[in-house]
């Protein structure tokens, strides 16, 4: 199974080849220095090995870990420099530093996917729905309505008290043949639902605060105006939608700790992976008293959980680049991530990461003796049990601007260092790395429904 509609570009092939060749030449040069400057050269070889490994760590990790990897690489190079300068070996030093810098830069470029989506006909009467309050007024700041008009796109701006669902229905009844949404993921979900129901193309305009759906679709979140080109000369990608008790969601539904975070003022700054990793610690030794009854893929029944997150396609969780994003949104699967209640299964939990369970399924059910608070695409909701989830595979025709990536940041990012070298080799050969190389997940199916 490969990344949908993806092909390795000539730029990616060149970058991967340069990365592999540079790494090999740098190691050969370090070995030559070791022989010529023995025994001091042994220290140089060790420093170069550390620098190469740390630079690679900066490729496959994100956030602080990426910064730490780069910092270690710099320190290791400084150690090699101290040894080489003492012997007056300036040329080898410069070549080693250049080799490691090229290795890091080329490897990162090789994994930056740009999917070439099939061309699609331009809609004649597209309508853009704008939430003017999303993203701190981002739509007005970039003059989105004027830019849309210049592209032949009608704009409908929301006002206090408006019913967005009704506005979308009215637009479709009036002949709209393309629907776009500029706002947060809640706004996106409403417009996307209507587009899916009527078989119309949909464009996600990243004018919200976080724009998680846009990110996973491969829309450049920093190019709000450019996203409008999806309805000019964009390509089409057919993706899935999720459903909970008949309501569509584009990202995820959360219960437990994360659902409580949605109710709080600062929930938008709480990352999914962080909450899942820290849930057992936050809840304390007494464990969660939440009445959330669910079955794991092995058929074992569970009476509670600290956090349950059901997503429209599985999230990539962990510490690698792209964590908290979905490599794909067209697998026809829900992603389920659970942090069990502390002390469940007879364990007090030796570490939060070890307690996280993650699998894929087409349907999932949660029972409870009382109404269940949920966060649906960031919106606080309470639903009566049972809570039934299912996937709507290939339900939404998404248009993506041609200059945007068209793929998630984690679409071609490897999970492990060893897998990364295999992925680089595949890219250099002109092949899209297979999913089993990129993302090692448990894809067992939950047969409870």
> Which residues are CB-neighbours of 67 under 8 A, at least 6 positions away?
58
Helices (H), 129-244: 138-141, 144-150, 164-173, 185-198, 212-217, 230-233
374 three-class SS = strand
Pairing of strands 357-361, 334-339: antiparallel
Please tell me the distance from the alpha carbon of residue 352 to that of residue 354, in angstroms, as a whole number.
5
Number of alpha carbons in the 13 Å side-chain half-sphere of residue 224: 25
Token pair of 322, please?
């792209």
Token pair of 275, please?
């909450």
> Which residues are CB-neighbours of 356 under 8 A, at least 6 positions away?
276, 277, 317, 337, 338, 339
Please tell me the distance from the alpha carbon of residue 389 to that of residue 188, in angstroms, as a whole number.
19
pLDDT of residue 238: 95
84-121 burial, b for 16+ CB within 10 Å, e for fewer? beeeebeebbebbbebbebbbbbbbbbbbbbbebeebe
Which of 133, 153, 149 has its CA nearest to residue 141?
133
> Which residues are CB-neighbours of 173 under 8 A, at least 6 positions away?
none
Q: What are phi and psi of 256, to 5 degrees?
A: 90, -135
> Which residues are CB-neighbours of 73 under 8 A, at least 6 positions away?
50, 51, 52, 54, 55, 58, 100, 104
Please tell me the distance from the alpha carbon of residue 107 to that of residue 23, in angstroms, as a whole number.
10
Token pair of 37, please?
């400057």
For 395, the enclosing helix (H) or strand (E) is: strand 387-400
What predicted TM-score, i.e. pTM, was given to this entire model?
0.75
Which of 385, 364, 361, 383 has its CA nearest to residue 374?
383
pLDDT of residue 439: 43
pLDDT of residue 68: 74
Token pair of 147, please?
């830019």
Report CA-CA distances (Å) from 10 to 110, 116, 428: 10, 13, 9
* Sign of the dihedral through C-alpha 332, 221, 168, 402: negative
Token pair of 187, please?
């706004």
Please tell me the distance from the alpha carbon of residue 138 to that of residue 135, in angstroms, as a whole number.
5
pLDDT of residue 268: 45
Instruction: Report residues of the chain scoring pLDDT below 70.
Output: 1-7, 37, 40-41, 55-67, 83-90, 93, 257-289, 318-323, 342-355, 414-418, 434-449
Bridge partners, residue 131, by sequence? none
């Amino acid at each position: 199974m490969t990344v949908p509609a993806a092909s390795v570009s000539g730029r990616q092939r060149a970058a991967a080849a340069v990365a592999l060749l540079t790494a090999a030449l740098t190691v050969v040069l370090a070995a030559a220095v070791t022989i010529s400057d023995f025994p001091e050269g042994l220290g140089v070889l060790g420093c170069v090995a550390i620098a190469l490994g740390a630079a690679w760590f900066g490729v496959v990790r994100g956030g602080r870990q990426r910064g730490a990897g780069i910092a270690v690489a710099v320190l290791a190079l400084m150690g090699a420099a101290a040894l080489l300068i003492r012997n007056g070996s300036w040329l080898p030093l410069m070549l080693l530093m250049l080799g490691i810098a090229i290795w890091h830069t080329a490897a990162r470029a090789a994994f930056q996917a740009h999917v070439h989506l099939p061309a699609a006909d331009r809609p004649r009467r597209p309508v853009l729905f704008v939430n003017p309050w999303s993203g701190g007024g981002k739509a007005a700041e970039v003059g989105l309505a004027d830019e849309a008009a210049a592209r032949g796109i009608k704009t409908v701006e929301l006002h206090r008290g408006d019913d967005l669902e009704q506005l979308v229905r009215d637009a479709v009844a009036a002949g709209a043949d393309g629907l776009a949404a500029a706002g947060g993921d809640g706004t996106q979900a409403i417009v996307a639902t209507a587009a899916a129901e009527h078989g119309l193309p949909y464009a996600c305009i990243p004018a919200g605060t976080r724009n998680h759906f846009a990110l996973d679709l491969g829309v450049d979140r920093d190019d709000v105006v450019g996203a409008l080109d999806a309805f000019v000369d964009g390509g089409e990608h057919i993706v899935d939608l999720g459903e909970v008790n008949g309501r569509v969601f584009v990202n995820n539904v959360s219960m437990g700790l994360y659902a409580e975070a949605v109710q709080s003022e600062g929930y938008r700054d709480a990352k999914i992976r962080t909450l899942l990793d820290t849930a057992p610690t936050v809840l304390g030794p007494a464990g969660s008293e939440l009445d959330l009854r669910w079955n794991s893929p092995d058929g074992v029944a569970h009476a509670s959980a600290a956090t349950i997150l059901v997503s429209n396609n599985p999230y990539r969780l962990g510490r690698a680049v792209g964590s908290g994003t979905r490599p794909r949104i067209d697998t026809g699967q829900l992603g389920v991530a659970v942090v069990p209640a502390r002390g469940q299964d007879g364990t007090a939990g030796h570490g939060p990461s070890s307690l996280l369970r993650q699998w894929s399924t087409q349907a999932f059910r949660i029972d409870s003796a009382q109404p269940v608070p949920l966060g649906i695409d960031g919106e606080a909701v309470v639903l009566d049990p049972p809570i039934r989830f299912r996937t709507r595979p290939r339900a939404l025709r998404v248009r993506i601007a041609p200059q945007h990536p068209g793929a998630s940041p984690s679409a071609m990012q490897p999970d492990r260092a060893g897998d990364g070298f295999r992925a680089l080799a595949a890219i250099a050969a002109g092949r899209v790395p297979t999913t089993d190389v990129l993302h090692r997940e448990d894809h067992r199916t939950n047969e409870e429904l």
